[in-house]
Structure 1
């Protein structure tokens, strides 16, 4: 990057515009991913499905997401970040719209798996671009903003949007068609506003996908981040998948009370990602990660003993999601980006996101289902607690990256990605 681009007054606007656009993009990814859950009762009646089919649909998307994220580094090298961002968002929107035409389980499984591939392409690329456009002193804060709308649109507002559209349109097919539309507009806005950093693609093309994986795994916290992501998602995905049944079948809450409590996952996750990553910019990554894991573990333990009081359960689940979603942001964002040279960032992010999604999104809910079947629904909270406690233990091993104090940075609002490394130095 030349000096003129660093001092340009447009640099600050570009950073803000891209963070907002990428946040909206990831929010729509969350909406497209989770919108099927509140629509499934209607889909089940029309297409003759059962709850096992719902689990299979969720697993298909999660596994495809993870494997796509693993291989995204090579695709970014060939096509460029802009093309991957725009293309994946267009495809997700198109596939979501095509879900309205599904005639059975096989068609929906195929469409959900393809959506998972496209969402797995967008996720690490969006994280990488957010880091690219962010000033070093704002990386954690900007990553928090970029990730914040995923839980709020997908888990908090998604059920309300689905219910409102279903009541108006009287068709789950129409809901899929309507939800697909904003993605096309957003893809056009990203294509119009995103200007890739000059020279970055050249650095990426010097290494193949497999070699970049091996190089990335040798750096900093990458291997540890994979295990930490598994612990985070073991808590987060178990609660998302199994807690509704725990609330209705074990605590005997009504359906409306259960929905109110579950909405805390989306609200808490959104608020947490706006606060905790920014605090890590000020006080360091490792202390904030350790504190977040400890708080999550304590809240899960209290949740396991809590009486069936909706407001109390809402507050506890809000706090758990507040810390867990923030931990996800930190693990795939600053902890990964500050462990590798810029040339290895797409591959490193893909590894952490991909393996975390495969293990956390696939293995953890399956384990929780086994535990619930054999030991009862309350035992699922032990699985979630084990994830937080394990993450706390692993976080003690983190190598604290060097945080640049704001006082040592230039006053101008400019884009200053860390270019201290080259691929040869890796």
Structure 2
């Protein structure tokens, strides 16, 4: 019974968080078309990415902690899925930069709690031997499949045949369907385990942000997130425009290369956490972060698209690391009653620094020093986490004694 629900929850949360990134990345893929009509620049793209990351950061940190105080997180997850779907659809009605900025910022508010709530539900429902793999599928593979594999060709086809506004408008449909699935099939185990008759005591003993930051792994993951979000947001925001304007690839070639990022995202998204279940979280973080630092530089120096595509497939490994520092390691390190708080804190600070500040800086740097500078900024964003990961405490059950593994809540 437990395994059956674990798999069902994994499938639903994968769809949910995958669609979060389908919406988030849509503007990056459509920006070459949007910018022509609305007369936007690279700096505008950086500000739009930064605005979503800022509100995502603040919402994830605050609403993630708030969800830990509630007896049930399920209604909150349903609400945020509906909200970001509606706001994404409304992006198709904008008339200029300011209205687009408003909707992107509001989308960040709606999306912020999605990851902390989803991963806290999954951490409680997962068997220890599958925890890293399950979290990797939700945090890495699902967003890669829906956001970066299916997203580019579908969005570019819709935009070129029906207009970019239509591509945004139809996004409300899958979001409503996912909200219905959550309502029908997701259970909130904490309402029976962590809460129950001891609900008030659980609330009183929940650690604060300051207490969580005294945990070395949580503190390191916060810093790692700042740099890794720089790697991810910079490359994913600017790569489509870089490939078209700087490398002079066609929109179709660009979408194929971005799909390679997506295929790598899907594969490495579960391969890296799965490997970490066997060799440990720490060595996996170091090895695959070093590989990820190479990926953005390939876009600058590889001479043609045919050579670039397979190399990107092999080196875009960082999204698998995201699962480890943003979900698995803190979930295995923090107090069980504060998992969503810890995950929200890591994601929030990471989005604030790496997601909000970095794209704006990269956009202005690109306008002043040329587009290749954004890829160098992205590369640095993966190299620093490789070094910081050397100081993590190992948390993988296979690498530590059974007595030292913090027990996770079970789902009947």
TM-score range, shorter chain: 0.7 to 0.9
Instruction: Name the structure 2 match of 1:390.
Output: 384
- 2:288, 2:318 within 8 Å by CA — same for their partners in 1? yes
| Shift in alpha-carbon separation, 1:304–1:11, aligned structure 2, 3 A | closer
- TM-score of the pair, normalised by structure 1: 0.85
| Shift in alpha-carbon separation, 1:316–1:368, aligned structure 2, 3 A | farther
Q: C-alpha offsets along residues 43-77 of structure 1, whole Å, 9 cap, x if unaligned?
A: 44555655544433222211111111110234201
Instruction: Name the structure 2 match of 1:81.
Output: 73
- 2:225, 2:346 within 8 Å by CA — same for their partners in 1? yes
Unmatched segments (≥5 aa) in structure 1: 1-9, 410-415, 421-426
- 1:306, 1:313 within 8 Å by CA — same for their partners in 2? no
How many residue pairs get aligned? The number is 400
Instruction: State the 1:220 CA deviation.
Output: 3.6
Instruction: Name the structure 1 match of 2:138.
Output: 146
Alignment of 1:338 onto 2:332? yes
| Candidates 152, 157, 163, aligned match of 2:156 | 163
Instruction: Name the structure 2 match of 1:424.
Output: none
Instruction: Name the structure 2 match of 1:67.
Output: 58
Instruction: Name the structure 1 match of 2:225.
Output: 229
| Candidates 11, 15, 31, aligned match of 2:6 | 15
Looking at structure 2, the residues matched to 137 and 408 of structure 1 have their Cα atoms a distance apart, in angstroms, of: 12
Q: Could you tell which deviates more after superposition, 330-339 or 232-241?
A: 232-241
- TM-score of the pair, normalised by structure 2: 0.88
Instruction: Name the structure 1 match of 2:408.
Output: 418
Instruction: State the 1:200 CA deviation.
Output: 2.2
Q: Could you tell which deviates more after superposition, 149-158 or 122-131?
A: 149-158
Instruction: Name the structure 2 match of 1:352.
Output: 346
Unmatched segments (≥5 aa) in structure 2: none
Q: Secondary structure at the match of 2:395?
A: coil
Q: Secondary structure at the match of 1:200?
A: coil
Looking at structure 2, the residues matched to 42 and 254 of structure 1 have their Cα atoms a distance apart, in angstroms, of: 13
Looking at structure 2, the residues matched to 282 and 143 of structure 1 have their Cα atoms a distance apart, in angstroms, of: 15
Q: Provide the aligned C-alpha RMSD in A.
A: 2.8
Q: Could you tell which deviates more after superposition, 281-290 or 229-238?
A: 229-238
| Shift in alpha-carbon separation, 1:55–1:296, aligned structure 2, 3 A | closer
- 2:28, 2:240 within 8 Å by CA — same for their partners in 1? no
1:15-414 aligned within 5 A: 15-44=6-35, 47=38, 49-76=40-67, 77-78=69-70, 80-147=72-139, 148-168=141-161, 170-197=162-189, 198-201=192-195, 202=199, 205-206=203-204, 212-299=208-295, 303=298, 306-321=301-316, 323-404=317-398
- 2:124, 2:409 within 8 Å by CA — same for their partners in 1? no
Looking at structure 2, the residues matched to 141 and 68 of structure 1 have their Cα atoms a distance apart, in angstroms, of: 26
- 1:253, 1:308 within 8 Å by CA — same for their partners in 2? no
Instruction: State the 1:128 CA deviation.
Output: 1.2
